[in-house]
Amino acid sequence: METKWLEDFVSLAETRSFSRSAQLRHVTQPAFSRRIQALEAWAGTDLVDRSSYPTHLTAAGKTLYDQSLEILQALQNTRAMLRTHGTTSQDMIEFAVPHTLAFTFFPNWVAGLRDKFGPFKSRLIALNVHDALMRLVEGSCDLLITYHHDSQPFQLGADRYEMVSLGKEPLAPYSKPDAEGRPLYCLPGKPSEPLPYLGYAPGAYLGRITELILKQSSTPIHLDRVYETDMAEGLKAMALEGQGVAFLPYSAVKKELKARRLVSAVPPGGAPLEMVMDVRAYREKPTGKEPPKGTAQALWEYLQTQAGSGAAV
């Protein structure tokens, strides 16, 4: 039996919808249904009445719902008590950050914070976007730093989570330059000669944003996918070797652009091919039962003040 099954079950009992709970728990509906079925197999009885809509709990389900709330709260309280045993963990702010931001945005951002906010201890947990999000949902980090675009929103309820915008990040196409400084691969390409394309692996967040850029382009773009990975740093390395066009966040390429090791793959005067994303910090709202770490709370208040004043965070 896994505690996440109980969390799934509590969500289902409260939303009375498999699809809505699957969204809130950041899994597909089939995967969510399998987890509820696994819980029923463990309990040895039906917990959900599937003959009605909205979903209703059986008598056994209602009993388990009450017990689940007590069990999960007891676990939360136990974790809070355990955390008080270590002063080091109390001082350490844990950040869950997708790989791309961990390599590009995060180091410079933290360095700037230490200059303006003051010194603090931090732990970086670099993951893919989904796993970084789950760290926040499961209470295993203090802050989640991630990209946001309205076309790819995260299902984080405003009643439980709060957000601060940290800045903007353009995503645009780049290529290695030739001897004259022009891009080796210049968009839009030709139907008969598609440009070698360095793309994100299926399911990658930046890949979905890139697909939106290409879809919304006023000019047909002709690309031939020759390489893929789920990390922007991997695509940048291939682009620097002259292997094709890659859509990359500005923070990942600003040094290479300044050194003219990469250039825009869009010709001068060409239609822009970029999407501006938000870089955001999320945290779970304090409940009073488990107050946030003092340093983490002070940092959050600082970020709110900076965002409210319009200052670059």
Per CATH, which fold does 3-83 belong to?
Arc Repressor Mutant, subunit A (1.10.10)
What was the pLDDT predicted at 237?
A: 95
Given this model, what pLDDT does residue 87 score? 46
pLDDT at residue 242, as a whole number: 96
**CA distance linking residue 172 with residue 13, whole number of Å:** 43
- pLDDT averaged over every residue in the chain: 87
pLDDT in tens, 96-115: 999 889 988 899 899 989 88
- Written in H, E and C, the secondary structure of 270-295 is CCCCCEEEEEEEEEECCCCCCCCCHH
Q: What residues does CATH 3.40.190.10 cover in the chain?
A: 87-167+277-309, 169-276
CATH 3.40.50.150 corresponds to the domain 87-167+277-309:
no
* CA–CA distance, 197 with 245 (Å, rounded to integer): 5
Which residue numbers in the chain have pLDDT < 50? 87-88, 310-313
Choose the CATH number for 169-276 among 3.30.499.10, 3.40.190.10, 3.40.50.300, 3.10.20.30. 3.40.190.10
Which stretches of the chain are DSSP H helices? 3-15, 18-24, 29-43, 59-83, 87-91, 99-103, 105-116, 129-137, 205-216, 232-240, 250-258, 294-309
Collapsing DSSP states into helix, strand and coil, what is residue 313? coil
Prior bond of 188 cis (ω within 30°): yes
- According to CATH, where is 1.10.10.10 located in the chain? 3-83
* Residue 97 confidence (pLDDT): 93
DSSP track, 100-152: HHHHTHHHHHHHHHHHHT---EEEEEEE-HHHHHHHHHTT--SEEEEEE-TTS
pTM (2 d.p.): 0.69
Tokens representing 107 are 């180091």
